[in-house]
Amino acid sequence: MQQSLTPAILSELRRIVGERGLITAPNQLQTYECDGLTAFRIPPSAVLLPETTEQVQSILRLCHRERIPFVARGAGTGLSGGALPAEGSVVIALSRMNRILNIDLPNQQVTVQPGVINANVTAAVAPQGYFYAPDPSSQTVCSIGGNIAENAGGAHCLKYGFTVTHVLEMTVVLPNGDIVILGGKTPDTSGYDLAGVFIGSEGTLGVATEMTLRIMRRPETIQVILAAFDAISSAAQSVSDVIASGQLPAAMEIMDRLSIEAAEISVHPSYPVCEALLLIELDGPEAEVNLQMASVIEICKRNGAWETRLAIDESARFLVWKGRKAAFAAAGRLSPNYIVQDGVIPRTSLPMVLEKLNAMAAEERLRVTNVFHAGDGNLHPIILYNRENPGEEERAIDLSLRILDVCVEAGGSITGEHGVGREKQCSMSYMFSDPDLETMQRVRRAFDTLNLANPDKLFPTPRLCGERTRGAYAPHPLESSGIAEIF
């Protein structure tokens, strides 16, 4: 039931963003009806392409006055449906706000607009020997604005932290159209850390239109070791031993046999054929890294690694990372359809959780392949299925959500970097109690009294989740009667 905008509102929007900045043609709106989570699609009423903070402000004032929900959108690469339009909403696409505004190398800061592509920040400062640390797998296409909404991580956040660690200051347009500066270019600005709560709020608190990012000095050397094991548990033990030895690698990744095979078919990284591949990246001053690497290799061998490959120069490292970075896309070579999950567990519970997960997959007769950010316990199980087989998609979705339950039971989280969005909002009530969620809602109401900013996301709602409790699932009356659907 798409709610359309009145001609008067449309012409007002056109006055704000110009003819070029307003999309209303149904075939063009299709582009914006979903993000990377393509199973959910809702066409927006209109798409707006503002070019300035003031235009965003005018749009939000109008939305506020007319009670029109809005969804901000970056590159649309999100995996949890965060940029999925709400019923009757306008989409504010920030792709035209893609300028790098200022580079301040001495203070290690770069000021950009939200539509700037993540990798372009590093590209702009790489010649001078700097980089922007957050590196989600989609970094060549995803935008900084989207990274802020999701508090994006990446393989290297083990050492360098998440987006929230690297955003110093933001200009934010609040849902009522007010403009505030959150954070600051200087440390510890007075008052509440509103920037800290805004980052990762999945577009539910306002629209960031300008941001100053911290850039870092590129390490003197980077070395990656690839170690082959006969069992995941041996790779996991190596990770624990590295941590126990007091070292903090830049990244630690594990791939299982199926994902190694998929990567081989897809991008030919020539990985050793084994049950578990552990990839550890160390960076820093050369002499220091050499010493650490020797100890890491020793640890891997002690845990039964039967092959270790050290990659130091850039092309060798590229090859080692290529297979890992292609892991999600490579799943398409194994199966026509797949779901990528994003649970987090305490690192030490990895072997136990994997065992449970494999048993659950076997019971459902579905294949699950695993890649992990092993250093920080972030699992990316990939559930393979074929939509053509009746009932298989439902079973795959159900399995993927039950895997999240297992992560929560192990003391972890339902999402490490993809966000809750639409996909996992019903799982939020498994991780958090009602008072926890109600406390978060207080923040939301403070920023957005009318609930216009990306509504129906992140929080479980009775409409979408019913009185959903885990265990025996009871469908909501609205769902049984076909008024609402549950995903």
Partner 1 sequence: MASSSTISIHEVADHLAGIVGLDHVRVEDNVVTVSPEDTQQISAVLAFAGKNRLTICPLGGSTKLHWGGRVVPDIYISLARLNRVVEHPWQDLTCTVQAGCTWSKLQQSLVAHGQFVALDPLFQSRATVGGILSTNDSGVLRQRYGSLRDLVIGMTLVLPDGTIARTGGKVVKNVAGYDLSKLLTGSLGTLAIITEANFRLHSLPRHERSFTVLAQRASPLESLLAAIRASHLLVQSLQLRSLGTQFSLDVKLNAHPESHQEDLLMEMVQQDGLLLEDAPEEIWSARETLFSSGSTILRISTLPTQLCAYADYLQTRHSEVEITSVSQAIGLHSIALRGSPEEIASVIQKLRADVEYPAVTVAVLNPGSGVDVPAFHISPATLSLMKAVKDQFDPDNILSPGKYFAGKQ
* Sole binder of partner 1 in the list 251, 458, 464, 465 (CB under 8 A): 458
Angle 213-210-154 from CA coordinates, rounded to 5°: 45
As measured in angstroms, the least distance from the Cβ of 24 to partner 1 is: 33
Residues 331 and 383: their CA atoms lie apart, in Å, by 9
Virtual CA dihedral for 373, 379, 380, 386, nearest 10 degrees? 150
- Letters for 23-62 (x = contact with partner 1 by CB under 8 A, - = none) are ----------------------------------------
Which phi and psi (to 5°) does residue 374 adopt? Answer: -70, -30
Establish if 150 lies at the interface with partner 1 (CB under 8 A).
Answer: yes
256, amino acid identity: D
d(CA 195, CA 365) in angstroms, rounded, equals 45
3-state secondary structure of 426: helix
Options 87-95, 303-311, 443-451, 464-472: segment touching partner 1 (CB under 8 A) = 443-451
Task: Return the number of the residue (369 or 425) whose C-beta is nearest partner 1.
Answer: 425
* Spatial contact of 73 and 32, defined as CB atoms under 8 Å apart: yes
* Full strand arrangement of the beta sheet holding 167-173: 100-104, 109-112, 207-214, 167-173, 179-183
Does 155 contact partner 1 by CB under 8 A?
no
Cβ proximity to partner 1: between 108 and 337 the closer is 108
Positive/negative CA dihedral, 205, 209, 214, 217: positive
Complex with partner 1: residue 158 or 228, whichever CB lies closer: 158
CB of 392 to partner 1, least distance (A): 27
Which phi and psi (to 5°) does residue 161 adopt?
A: 85, 180
> Nearest approach, Cβ of 328 to partner 1 (angstroms)?
17
Per CB under 8 A, the list member of 21, 136, 153, 381 interacting with partner 1 is 153
CA 308 to each of CA 224, 266, 429: distance values in angstroms, whole numbers, following the listed order: 10, 22, 43
Measured distance CA(66)–CA(16) in Å, rounded: 15
The residue among 230 and 436 lying less far from partner 1, judged by its C-beta, is 436
Token code pair at residue 120? 């372009």
For partner 1, the closer of residues 4 and 449 by Cβ is: 449
Q: Say whether residue 65 binds partner 1 (CB under 8 A).
A: no
| Given 52, 95, 120, 189, the residue binding partner 1 (CB under 8 A) | 189
- Least distance from partner 1 to the Cβ atom of residue 470, Å: 16
- Beta carbon of residue 329, minimum distance to partner 1 (angstroms, whole number): 22
The helix (run of H) or strand (run of E) holding residue 172 is strand 167-173
Cα radius of gyration rounded to whole Å, the chain: 23
Stretch that binds partner 1, among 158-166, 260-268, 272-280, 469-477 (CB under 8 A): 158-166
From 69, 136, 146, 419, residue interacting with partner 1 (rule: CB under 8 A): 419
Q: In the bound complex, what is the minimum distance in angstroms from residue 152's beta carbon to partner 1? A: 9
Residue of 163, 122, 120, 167 whose CA lies nearest to 141: 120
**Number of residues lying near partner 1 (CB under 8 A):** 86
Name the residue nearer to partner 1 (CB basis): 126 or 334: 126
CA distance 345 to 355: 13
Residue 447 interacting with partner 1 (CB under 8 A): yes
Query: Please, are residues 146 and 74 in contact by the beta-carbon 8 Å criterion?
Result: yes
Subset of 322-381 contacting partner 1 (CB under 8 A): 344-348, 373, 376-378
Considering only residues 422-441, where is the footprint of partner 1 by CB under 8 A?
Answer: 424, 428, 431-433, 435-440
Residues 192-231 binding partner 1 (CB under 8 A) are 192-194, 196-197, 199-201, 217, 219-220
Q: What is d(CA 15, CA 61) in angstroms, rounded to the nearest whole number?
A: 14
Among 73, 324, 325, 418, which residue interacts with partner 1 (rule: CB under 8 A)?
418
Least spacing, CB of residue 199 vs partner 1, in Å: 8
Show contacts with partner 1 in window 264-303 (CB under 8 A).
Answer: 284-288, 291
3-state secondary structure of 117: strand
DSSP structure class, residue 130: E
Strands (DSSP E) contained in 215-258 are 216-217, 221-229, 251-256
Is 190 a residue that touches partner 1 (CB under 8 A)? yes
Among 359, 446, 474, 483, binds partner 1 (CB under 8 A): 446
Residue found by looking up tokens 């007319």 in the block: 66
Distance of closest approach, residue 330 Cβ to partner 1, in angstroms: 23
Query: 3-class SS at 348?
Result: helix
Give me the 166-185 binding string for partner 1, x by CB under 8 A, dash otherwise. Answer: --------x---xxxxx-xx
Of the pair 258, 379, the CB lying nearest partner 1 is at 379
Residue 413 lies near partner 1 (rule: CB under 8 A)? yes
CB 374 within 8 A of CB 324: no
Distance of CA 335 to the CA centre of its chain: 23
Q: How far is the CB of 3 from partner 1 (least distance, A)?
A: 28
Q: Which of 281, 287, 348 is nearest to 316 (CA)?
A: 281
Q: Which is nearer to partner 1, 78 or 269 (CB)?
A: 78
Identify the residue among 10, 24, 39, 161 touching partner 1 (CB under 8 A).
161
Pick from 19, 25, 127, 191 the residue near partner 1 by CB under 8 A.
191
